[in-house]
Amino acid sequence: MKKVYANPKHCVNCHLCKVYCIAAHSKSKDVLKAYKKENLKDTARIIVEETKTISCGLQCRHCDEPKCVASCISGAMRKDLNTGIVFCDPSRCVGCLTCVVACDYGAVQPGPDGKALKCDLCKDLGEPACVANCPNGAIAFLEKEDE
């Protein structure tokens, strides 16, 4: 399965990965409309970790045996057995956020509506928006052998 990998050496902390993630998951699919009209500024499914000397994008690892799925009491957090994508069905999420606590990587976050938010690899697009719009190639979508 292809996964998203970060390369901190190329990250310049521009946060465009977050901007385009938000736009890709908005109704309009437009950056300006997502921020100005839909007010989605707190709905990114990628986190930019930053310290004084390094920054990089952090998102779901789409684990083989995801703890977020195992901990979900409503069945909202699921793994697609065909693609390997771990995703949250917001219509089933009850906002208990046990998935947030269960994730070893901090990749599941509470959204502004209290429901879980996490990377779904932009499953409706051909490539994750964060990867497609990173100006420095600091994020890659690659098939790698188990590490």
Domain regions of the chain by residue span: 1-59+123-147, 63-118
Q: Which two tokens stand for residue 133?
A: 């719009």
Name every residue whose Cβ is closer than 8 Å to that of residue 115 and which is 6 or more positions away in sequence: 76, 88, 90, 93, 95
* Architecture of the domain whose range is 63-118: 2-Layer Sandwich (3.30)
Whole-number CA gyration radius for the chain: 15
The DSSP code for 9 is: T
Question: How would you write the pLDDT of the chain (147 residues) with one tens digit per residue?
Answer: 889 999 999 999 999 999 999 999 999 999 999 888 888 878 899 989 888 778 888 899 999 999 999 999 999 999 999 999 999 999 999 999 999 999 999 999 999 999 999 999 998 898 999 999 999 999 999 987 655
Q: What is the pLDDT of residues 76-119, one digit of tens each?
A: 999 999 999 999 999 999 999 999 999 999 999 999 999 999 99
Name every residue whose Cβ is closer than 8 Å to that of residue 110 and which is 6 or more positions away in sequence: 95, 97, 100, 116, 117
Residue 134's pLDDT is 96
Whole-prediction pTM: 0.87
Q: With beta carbons less than 8 A apart as the criterion, state whether 83 and 91 touch.
A: no
What does the longest C-alpha to C-alpha distance in the chain come to?
42
What is the rounded distance in angstroms from the CA atom of residue 5 to the CA atom of residue 126?
16
